[in-house]
Amino acid sequence: MVEDVVSPALQEQLDALLTTPYHWQSQPPYALSAMGLLTALLCGLTFARQIGQRLEGWKQDRLPLLPLGRPTMVIPYGGIVMGTVLFIGAGLQVFGFGAGSSFFLALLLAVATGAGLWQQLEDLMGQVENGTFAAADSDFFDNRR
- The verdict on residue 9 lying in a domain is no
In a domain, 134, yes or no: no
How confident is residue 137, by pLDDT bands cut at 50, 70 and 90? very low
C-alpha 131/C-alpha 11 separation (Å) is: 50
User: Rounded to two decimals, what is the model's pTM?
Assistant: 0.72
Model confidence pLDDT, tens digit, residues 81-124: 999 999 999 999 988 888 889 999 999 999 999 999 999 998 88
pLDDT digits (tens, 9 = 90+) for 37-48: 999 999 999 999
Report if residue 71 sits inside a domain.
yes
| Residue 44 belongs to some domain of the structure | yes
**Looking at the domain assignment, is residue 54 inside a domain?**
yes
Q: How many domains does the chain have?
A: 1
Alpha-carbon span 83 to 90, nearest angstrom: 11
Peptide bond into 64 cis (omega under 30): no
What is the domain extent for residue 103?
28-129
Q: What is the average pLDDT value for the chain, to the nearest integer?
A: 84
Question: Is residue 111 in a domain?
Answer: yes
- 143 is a domain residue: no
> In this structure, is residue 17 part of a structural domain?
no
Question: What's the Cα-to-Cα distance from 106 to each of 1, 8, 57, 90, 121, rounded to whole Å?
Answer: 34, 25, 36, 9, 22
Q: Name 18's Cβ contacts closer than 8 Å, sequence gap at least 6.
A: 101
Nearest partner of 75 among 42, 99, 53, judged by Cα: 42
